[in-house]
Structure 1
């Protein structure tokens, strides 16, 4: 197990990289250059107490957190949030790396409307192999916005500074939401293949009677089987079907219940235990919420 280095302040990053002290204690734009890329991060795990939005160009190495690694290439963005464990390494033969990293502390946005919206930006919980890839035009838009943030905190700070900085951060995140949706659409054929894998995993889970032993399949189980973060999987499924991962699993379970009700004479309790429900009433409650009928009423209505 590697040692963990906990970085609490943005100023500590500046100090470690040999950069001047940040002009604002809660936000900083770091240009990625030889000084940054040449830093020896060592064989450590880093945990930061602030958000990071990074844009890198050029195949330069990889960053890892969780169980996945990602090799940076042209126009790649990665988002991390406070408390995520990260490791860094470099690839030999790298000639050039460029880009920027926007760092901002939760205290910067704490009293703003953005604070309550941060959880809606699910890409902060994506794994790094689910990074955002930008066109040149998209890169240009985001670079202009981060330049405005840098310009704002580089001036004399006044009562408007924080609000304007936060507004630009929110605009960046909203643009990235749009770009991720575009990426899902561009990868539609690939995502259809992934949806087929999702269906196969769910079918195998029930057909192998794993549900009897382990209960109903969870989003966590499905995402791990797909080697994806739960948030990315849910967003991919929602883009393809209009339902999130939990709803998709529930709908699969409902179809299983319907098939069992129509093709067997099993009692509702037998069906419930066979599908992994802890109590039969949980099946009945879910079924009525989804169909408007109890399982018995559904069976009678079809027969």
Structure 2
């Protein structure tokens, strides 16, 4: 309970320091956050709906956006100025926030799942543009390219509502065209000077907390995706020492301390609330061997997982 209250306070404080940027909206989302369960694995939206926000929940969406307004894209390590028209590619593991200038939001975006990409891509491989962690896939467009891409979004929207039996393959072909349009161009790397050090630390801390929240409760079938401090730093495109300094400044704890706390909390819940054996729990939490999990749990709690399960 104390950890959760600390995180809530931290998020509120961090948001206040970051010019009222809402870091709960770091990940791609549609108007209906559960659309993948109702409408399939691909949807197209008009950006005029972006004024509405949905609650933060765990998501596994990929997103392509045509932005026709000025604004700022906030990443952990930089802020990129968006000059319309701009094409943006987003994936679930690189957190970001869009800060728009006042006024109606113009453009289009589509959201889709990893399953959609795997089913339709050659060899079931997700395109590189969605897997590069060190690159911010933001591309400025000229007027001609913008009009072409707007037309593609309209076509995808029409096809997604059609009865054509091969519509998913057709839609993916349009996604491929968008990827090719981006590949013709050089990604924008235009960092803006951050206001001050505490601003940057608050930004990094808020983004880390959002990523940490997305890992738990752990999906037993997939296991923990980000296991070490270095994994989080890599996805934030910063050095692990930079991440540690930011967290220590804002929260008083290091990355490893936050990870240890959440791992123990999750392990205790799985031990008490599930019938999974100890080796299954350890593996789901990123421990290759049961002995490693036992040593970790005992070092932190003073008890073995087996004794905790029996006596807690």
Normalising by the residue count of structure 2, what TM-score does the alignment of the two structures yield? 0.46
Bigger Rg, structure 1 or 2: 1
Higher helix share: 1
Between the two structures, name the one with larger relative contact order (CA 8 Å, sep ≥ 6): 2
Higher strand share: 1
Normalising by the residue count of structure 1, what TM-score does the alignment of the two structures yield? 0.47
